[in-house]
Amino acid sequence: MSDIAPLSFQDLILTLHDYWGKQGCAILQPYDMEMGAGTFHTATTLRALGPDPWNAAFVQPSRRPTDGRYGENPNRLGAYYQYQVILKPSPPDLQELYLGSLKAIGIDPLLHDIRFVEDDWESPTLGAWGLGWEVWCDGMEVTQFTYFQQMGGFDCKPVSGELTYGLERLAMYIQNKDSIFDLAYNNATADRPAITYGDVFRENERQMSTYHFEVADTDMLFDAFKKATAECENCLERSLPIPAYEQAIKASHIFNILQARGVISVQERASYMGRVRDLAKGSCQAWMEKNGWTA
């Protein structure tokens, strides 16, 4: 890459924080709930609605129970980290800003082939869609780049630009590693070698895969799904969109575990997703109403 040592996983995050902080983003913390992607964070979902400008960046731990591989697959994880940037309205030089961030983490665009390849984004569970690209670096998708058009079924007015970096992939690229688990998590010191991503997370992957695929109590989960949906509706009746939305996030994650357990048939799948979408849309609608915004 360059003469200087490649960034460790944690320095990659710190560098992005520094870069986007300087662009005027509020550097937020992860949302403290299990969710499938950074887009679920209220800083993205709810803030993408309404007219107010909003610029934020944060890391979001993302849980994908079905992608778990017991820590055996060098490219797949049941839990990983997304770096999210949301800029509203989307600035005219968003692509340039993004490319600036790649340079900041050590990717030289005259040495590496950076490409914007069509990839339209849709989240059926959030009732959201947008147009954009997956950004390729030498053929590897490193970022999802989206102009949100709708969220929770509502037109985005104005449109936000959303960047989602796959941190592990970027780090593998920068550090030239073939396995996620071999990534340097921090930096070596004089008397201590760097710890690896595997040192930190491999056991989590093993245990969580076992839990999601083999152990999770499905009766309890079906019950929890029902309770979360009921609680969401309860909150909506009291015009509390944020707690309502948290219950939607909860229901979505429970659904994902049930999927991993293989107990949701294809027929049922669509109806569960529709259920979660209704909760998310209801929460977005309540959020619009609470703020006095019209569709």
Residues that bind other proteins (CB under 8 A): 1, 51, 73-75, 89-92, 95, 99, 109-118, 120, 130-133, 137-140, 147, 149, 155-159, 161, 173, 178, 265-267
DSSP H helical ranges for the chain: 9-22, 42-45, 94-104, 167-175, 197-210, 218-237, 241-260, 266-291
For other proteins, give the closer residue by CB, 157 or 238.
Answer: 157
For other proteins, give the closer residue by CB, 147 or 245.
Answer: 147
Residue pair 149/134 in contact by the 8 Å Cβ criterion: no
For Cα atoms 284, 285, 289, give the angle at the middle one, nearest 5 degrees.
115
For other proteins, give the closer residue by CB, 118 or 219.
Answer: 118
Nearest distance from residue 269's CB to other proteins, in Å?
A: 10
Nearest distance from residue 131's CB to other proteins, in Å?
A: 4
Nearest distance from residue 201's CB to other proteins, in Å?
A: 19
10 Å Cβ neighbour count for 225? 21
* Main-chain phi, psi angles of 195, to 5 degrees: -85, 155
For other proteins, give the closer residue by CB, 15 or 90.
Answer: 90
For other proteins, give the closer residue by CB, 4 or 266.
Answer: 266
- In terms of phi and psi (left: phi > 0; alpha: psi -120 to 50; beta: otherwise), the region of 138 is left
Convert 118-139 to b/e letters by CB count within 10 Å (16 or more is b). eeebebebbbbbbebbbbbbee
Selection from 76, 41, 23 nearest residue 164 by Cα = 41
For other proteins, give the closer residue by CB, 129 or 222.
Answer: 129
Nearest distance from residue 150's CB to other proteins, in Å?
A: 10
Nearest distance from residue 68's CB to other proteins, in Å?
A: 14
CB neighbours of 82 closer than 8 A, spacing ≥ 6?
37, 38, 59, 60, 62, 164, 165, 166, 167
Nearest distance from residue 294's CB to other proteins, in Å?
A: 12
